[in-house]
Structure 1
Amino acid sequence: MGKDGASIPDEEWERFLREVEAGTQDAPKEPSARARMVARRLRDEPGPPEGWRTHQPPRRRRSKGWYAVGLLVAAGLLLVALAPGRVAAWFGGGDGGGDSAPLAAESERPDKPPATEAASQLPTLEQPFKGSPAARWADGTAGISLPAARATGWMNKEQVEQALDRSRDFLAESSLDPGVLRGERPRQAIELINPHQQDVQNYLATAFRAPSREDDPLSLFSRFKESKVRLVGDVVKTRGRITFREGERGAVEVTTDVTYVYPVVRAAKGSDEVARTIVRREVVMSWDDPAKVVVEPGTFSLVSYKADTANGGCDAFGYFTPEFSAERGTSGQGDGREVDPYDRSDSMDARMRGADDAGCGTATRS
């Protein structure tokens, strides 16, 4: 009824209801793109949100109305109350539960190797880490955990934090950089190494000019020959950690122990068989006191390095040369001991003591 008691015309009443339902009185003129996306997803897909890389045809819309919305909100609140862990997992919180949940960062050495996946779960171009423990590992530097910094040796806390960050930068430039993985010279990584450490500089010069068992760039850098193989996608899975302590002459000695998993296919067009090269490296760096050691600012001295590789090519130097099913059928088993390349429960010292320099071992899985 109007103020004078007259009836409101039907068309005016219907227009008023449409405006109220549409929220035109107080709503923003143009919601943000994120608001529109979230509203549309919640409206069309009441189930848990999908990963942003996945796709599913949109579901048929449910009937709308304030009563239906009220029921959905009530049901959502009830679900949160009864199963908060599941709801948190949908939106990225909690541990997600189950064997497919991403692993927490590695803060210490595990006490056993990861579980064995079903042998039938072969990798594909769409899922290059399928059937591998690496499927639950983080991508790139996200899988390399850093400890909390503290004043150590000649460095204060802030300087130690910077040394840890630069140590991880070296790992990124030497083992994750796309250009280096394609066989380019790792210039940025080399620039982080003390240029006054002459024996290391000699090794680097020889390793890239005439690689051999004694002078092999693969001890420190990951490289594939682009004419032979190419990486699948742009993700390298990693798992490992960085630790530090006071070293000689008050230096901050940083130890990195990281496993990298590289999925590759043959370079030939149309190749779709995915193989994986798995590399575990331990690199020890000394961030020296410039008052006691000749060193350029922002560089470290190389203390030691160890590398253990699965499916990188037996006696391959200069570039990894992974084998595919055809090569594995003719090359036979390695003549050394069996090794699980995903097992990080032993130290690199123990792993290398068991290695046979005269031959190639056998990886128990890829």
Structure 2
Amino acid sequence: MSKGGASVPDEEWERFLRESEAGSPGAPEEPSARARMVTRRLREEPEPPRGWRTHQPPRSRRGRGWYAVGLVVVVVLLVAVAVAPGRIAGWFDGGDAVDTLPLAGESARPDGPPAQEADGPLPTPDEPFAGSPAARWADGAAGIHLPAPRATGWMSEAEVGTALNRTRDFLTASSLDPAVLRGERPTKAMALINPHQADVQDYLKRAFRAPDRENDPLLLFSRFRSAEVRPVGDVVKTRGRVTFREGEKGAVEVSTDVTYVYPVVRASGDDEVARTIVRREVVMSWDDPARIVIEPGTFSLVSYKVDTTNGGCDTYTGYLTPAFLADRTTAADGGDGPAVDPYDRSTPIEERMREGDGEGCGIATRS
């Protein structure tokens, strides 16, 4: 054998082979391509935790009048994690290093929650997503995966593509618009909702006039009271997907499932960063105007569910109300439900709620 033109004696080569087979003490191991692939797969698809569940029974608000599909509204509220975020010992990916590579878009429901760090870093104004799975998520609308369009129901392939883009426009206008996050009315988002869907229009009027348990704007929109908190930077991390199928009367029924992570600080100027995590499942129907009373370019709401962590528990002010470190002990003491991982997207919200029992607020394992 030779390397760089220099000959290696046979006895040296044989000794090298023996030591290589036995393994040299302290030598780093280079995993094979297959090992690296398996390691990465296990890192991205860890085994889900056992026994966590939500607890608050669903509440529903059914449609009335001309629209055939019942309007279902479900809410899950979780109190802030009782310990500092990123400090929970949990599920590991088999190594000490944490993968920081951006995740590919979520085209299907994951098999389990993302891995938890032990002694992860705390969020700061410069690194507001530190110690969180959201650090690997995409920014804003880029984290909402759209499928390839195909002709469905009354719509051509191009029309389905337009409906999917407008669906993402609604999600952006309702949950990512900086003005809406500051507490302003989500006029752009509401303009995309069928004005002839009477029960939904009634809900919207009540929600912004006098929010309560049944008429809470947070069911569809993310809003903070600007006098109390302000966003950290201009990035909201998101992860989610959009799917579609043919619905009733040839409509194109679009289902969305997106988690939003909002880092905020107190408006008073404190540098402590808190994160509010909101997951929404919204189903909308892009109806055929020849068969349903609807304005062109708008959709009818079929159902919407929300799961909120560190956004307030059993408070109906119309605004997300995150708790900071000084508030968390009290907030956690008020939670009597089981532990819940707000980053676990492997279970639908409604199924997670069915697994729970009792009243009150659950405890988030991390923020």
TM-score for the superposition, normalised by structure 1: 0.72
Cα distance between partner residues in 2 of 1:120 and 1:348: 27
Aligned residues of 2:337 and 2:358 also touching (Cα < 8 A): no
1:1-366 equivalences under 5 Å are 99-269=99-269, 271-317=270-316, 318-333=318-333, 334-355=335-356, 358-366=359-367
Q: Secondary structure at the match of 2:261?
A: strand
Q: Give the superposition deviation at 1:142.
A: 0.3
Q: String of CA shifts for 1:280-332, please: whole Å, max 9, x gaps.
A: 00000000000000000000000000000000011122000000111112233
Aligned residues of 2:332 and 2:363 also touching (Cα < 8 A): no
Residues 214 and 357 (structure 1), Cα distance of their counterparts in 2 relative to 1, 3 Å cut: farther
Cα distance between partner residues in 1 of 2:291 and 2:169: 25
Cα distance between partner residues in 1 of 2:149 and 2:358: 38
Q: Give the superposition deviation at 1:356.
A: 5.7
Residues 339 and 194 (structure 1), Cα distance of their counterparts in 2 relative to 1, 3 Å cut: same
Cα distance between partner residues in 2 of 1:125 and 1:288: 44
Aligned residues of 2:257 and 2:280 also touching (Cα < 8 A): yes
Q: String of CA shifts for 1:91-135, please: whole Å, max 9, x gaps.
A: xxxxxx970000000010010100002334100000000000000
One-letter amino acid of the structure 1 residue matched with residue 355 of structure 2: G
Aligned residues of 1:152 and 1:160 also touching (Cα < 8 A): yes
Aligned residues of 2:276 and 2:308 also touching (Cα < 8 A): yes
Q: Give the superposition deviation at 1:352.
A: 2.9
Aligned residues of 2:323 and 2:331 also touching (Cα < 8 A): no
Q: Give the superposition deviation at 1:216.
A: 0.3
Structure 1: give runs of 5+ residues left out of the alignment.
Answer: 1-96
Tell me the matched-pair count.
Answer: 269
One-letter amino acid of the structure 1 residue matched with residue 119 of structure 2: A
Q: Give the superposition deviation at 1:215.
A: 0.5
Aligned residues of 1:118 and 1:131 also touching (Cα < 8 A): no
Percent of paired sites with the same residue: 71
Aligned residues of 1:355 and 1:361 also touching (Cα < 8 A): no
Q: String of CA shifts for 1:157-199, please: whole Å, max 9, x gaps.
A: 0000000000000000000000000000000000000000000
Aligned residues of 1:244 and 1:253 also touching (Cα < 8 A): yes
One-letter amino acid of the structure 1 residue matched with residue 360 of structure 2: G
Q: String of CA shifts for 1:238-294, please: whole Å, max 9, x gaps.
A: 00000000000000000000000000011102x100000001000000000000000
Residues 355 and 140 (structure 1), Cα distance of their counterparts in 2 relative to 1, 3 Å cut: farther
Q: Give the superposition deviation at 1:336.
A: 1.2
Q: Which has the higher contact order (CA 8 A, sep 6+)?
A: 2
One-letter amino acid of the structure 2 residue matched with residue 316 of structure 1: T
Residues 214 and 247 (structure 1), Cα distance of their counterparts in 2 relative to 1, 3 Å cut: same
Q: Which range moves more in the overlay, 113-122 or 180-189?
A: 113-122
Cα distance between partner residues in 1 of 2:225 and 2:308: 16
TM-score for the superposition, normalised by structure 2: 0.72
